[in-house]
Amino acid sequence: MTKDVYLVIGGSGFVGRHIVEQLLRRGDNVSVFDIVQRYQDVPFYSGDISDQEQVSTALRRSGTTCIIHTASPPATLSDPALYWKVNVDGTKAIIAAAIQNNVRKLVFTSSAGVVFNGASLANIDERLTPPEQPMDAYNESKQKAEEAVIAANGKDGLLTVALRPSGIFGPGDRQVMAGLYKVYEDGKTHFQIGDNNNMFDWTYVENVAHAHLLAADKLDLAPPAPTLSTLEDLPVEAPPLTEAEQDIVTRPLPPLDLTVGRHRIPTSEARPVGPYVTPPSNSSELTSAFEAKRTSPEGRPVVRTRFDPLSEPNIFRAKYTNPESSPLQVAGQVFYITNGEPCYFWDLPRLVWGQLDTMFPGHRDTRKGYTVLPRWVGLGLAFASECWGWVIGREPALTRFKVTYSCVNRWHNIEKARRVLGYEPQVGLADGVGRMVDWWKTEYTTGTHKIAH
């Protein structure tokens, strides 16, 4: 099998760079296309994605067979025209250039925000249709770009897939960490908007990069059963799942326990031995079986109901809606990508601030407790901040989007990514925060941003 030649578009950015590093680590041939060059270790093509000719030239010169498209302006600008130009027109230009140059694979970094319109989303899966009006111009442009990517699947041999990560953080991040540090420096960590009973999905950046490589690798795998379009007539009854399909939906998955540690239910054969007067003769076997690290959760049957996205009726419904494709293949699909460890919204910032405290002991008085501002107060303050920002011609410090974002549930079911892409988060939330704060400290103490404490 010939190896792909990769072009990471937006490869000078946060996520793009981690993808480049992972590709380099496994010995792949990779180039970068971006408007800025920040690294010198791979061939670089300078250009703007909204110019099809520039993308096309880079594809031709690099001999690309797989595009990973991560480019976008930052989410925090108030510039709908720029979002449209880069995200919508730029993505369409990439698709056209890919087809023009016979590129086979396109992996697109979408966003979980494409389905967010301000209302709470709890444990949602890919069946949820994106709203007509997403929360802001940035997510609207990502939604339109994603639509174009999925619609291009199968055109002239191009295979496409879109990944929807949520709340990416980690080394190299210039948005989340910088914002949290500013709050820390300004002494405002005791403010909380909303009641913090809302769950949010954060995703460590290397997990996101890992998902992109899996998607690229599996994009050209055939569906595990012939698609309905290959049959003479669309069946009215769902044909039974093939063995390959059964394997995908019933394979036992390991627990997501990177941060919380081992989940283990005691059984009669593996359990801690309680306070016996005379311990059972096999007590050491029982305890060591309980302590042993399990590599696979064999024997746990997967139980599904008809409400489950991977139940037979729902797989059939998805196939029926799009007879050209199967929800159990990668091409033409969207996937939520998260750490699979949703947590209360303010818990992650507090984890970051707590780690900053260990670096700067005494900087913060943590005895103050929290000043909890209800959501409506936050929205009022944000409105005032937006008006003031408009008057002085600057981006507002607080926006109604940010307030809404911090007060609602936004977490996602990643079972489809786990089963179809074979995605498992590699780094847990707590470990990821540690890595980000370590990186940040080195970066900011040796770089231009000196820390004065």
Q: Which of these is catalytic: 92, 105, 142, 319?
A: 142
432 touching ligand NAD, by CB under 6 A: no
Closest residue by beta carbon to ligand NAD: 13
Burial class (CB in 10 A: 0-12, 13-18, 19+), 284: exposed
Candidate residues 4, 6, 31, 34; the one interacting with ligand NAD per rule CB under 6 A: 34
81 touching ligand NAD, by CB under 6 A: no
Decide whether 17 or 400 has the Cβ nearer to ligand NAD. 17
49 touching ligand NAD, by CB under 6 A: yes
Candidate residues 7, 10, 331, 408; the one interacting with ligand NAD per rule CB under 6 A: 10
Residue given tokens 């540090």 in the structure block: 181
Candidate residues 16, 170, 171, 378; the one interacting with ligand NAD per rule CB under 6 A: 16
User: Could you tell me if 334 and 162 are in contact, meaning their C-beta atoms sit under 8 angstroms apart?
Assistant: yes
DSSP type of residue 331? T
Q: Rounded to whole angstroms, how far apart are CA atoms 141 and 121? A: 20
Candidate residues 62, 65, 72, 399; the one interacting with ligand NAD per rule CB under 6 A: 72
Decide whether 150 or 286 has the Cβ nearer to ligand NAD. 150
412 touching ligand NAD, by CB under 6 A: no
Cα distances from 314 to residues 58, 154, 308, 310, 328, in angstroms, run 41, 23, 7, 6, 11
Q: How far is the CB of 8 from ligand NAD (least distance, A)?
A: 10
What x/- string results for residues 215 through 254 when contact with ligand NAD is judged by CB under 6 A? ----------------------------------------
134 touching ligand NAD, by CB under 6 A: no
- The question of whether 142 is a catalytic residue gets the answer yes
Candidate residues 24, 35, 270, 359; the one interacting with ligand NAD per rule CB under 6 A: 35
> Which segment (12-20, 235-243, 340-348, 364-372) binds ligand NAD by CB under 6 A?
12-20
80 touching ligand NAD, by CB under 6 A: no
Candidate residues 93, 94, 158, 168; the one interacting with ligand NAD per rule CB under 6 A: 168
Cα distances from 373 to residues 207, 402, 407, in angstroms, run 33, 14, 11
| The token pair that represents 388 in the structure block | 């003031």
Alpha helices in 222-297 (DSSP H): 243-250, 283-291
Q: Mark 75-85 as b/e (b = at least 16 C-beta within 10 Å).
A: eeebeeebbbb
> Which segment (162-170, 242-250, 414-422, 425-433) binds ligand NAD by CB under 6 A?
162-170
Q: How far is the CB of 280 from ligand NAD (least distance, A)?
A: 52
70 touching ligand NAD, by CB under 6 A: yes
86 touching ligand NAD, by CB under 6 A: yes
Residues between 92 and 121 with contacts to ligand NAD, criterion CB under 6 A? 109, 111
| The token pair that represents 46 in the structure block | 């300078």
Q: Helix, strand or coil for residue 7?
A: strand
15 touching ligand NAD, by CB under 6 A: yes
H-run or E-run covering 204:
strand 203-204
334 touching ligand NAD, by CB under 6 A: no
User: In terms of DSSP bridges, do strands 199-200 and 343-344 run parallel, antiparallel, or are they unpaired?
Assistant: antiparallel
48 touching ligand NAD, by CB under 6 A: yes
- Residue 211 corresponds to which amino acid? A
Closest CA to 318 of 125, 127, 147: 127
* DSSP string computed for 154-198: TGGG-EEEEEEE-SEESTT-SSHHHHHHHHHHTT-TTEEES-S--
Q: How far is the CB of 430 from ligand NAD (least distance, A)?
A: 18
CA 85 to mean position of chain CA atoms: 23
Q: Provide the β-strand partners of residue 45.
A: 33
Q: Rounded to whole angstroms, how far apart are CA atoms 325 and 333? A: 8
12 touching ligand NAD, by CB under 6 A: yes
- Residue 190 corresponds to which amino acid? H
Candidate residues 73, 239, 380, 389; the one interacting with ligand NAD per rule CB under 6 A: 73
Residues acting as catalytic residues? 142
Tell me which residues touch ligand NAD (CB under 6 A): 10, 12-16, 34-36, 48-50, 70-74, 86, 90, 109, 111, 142, 165, 167-168, 175
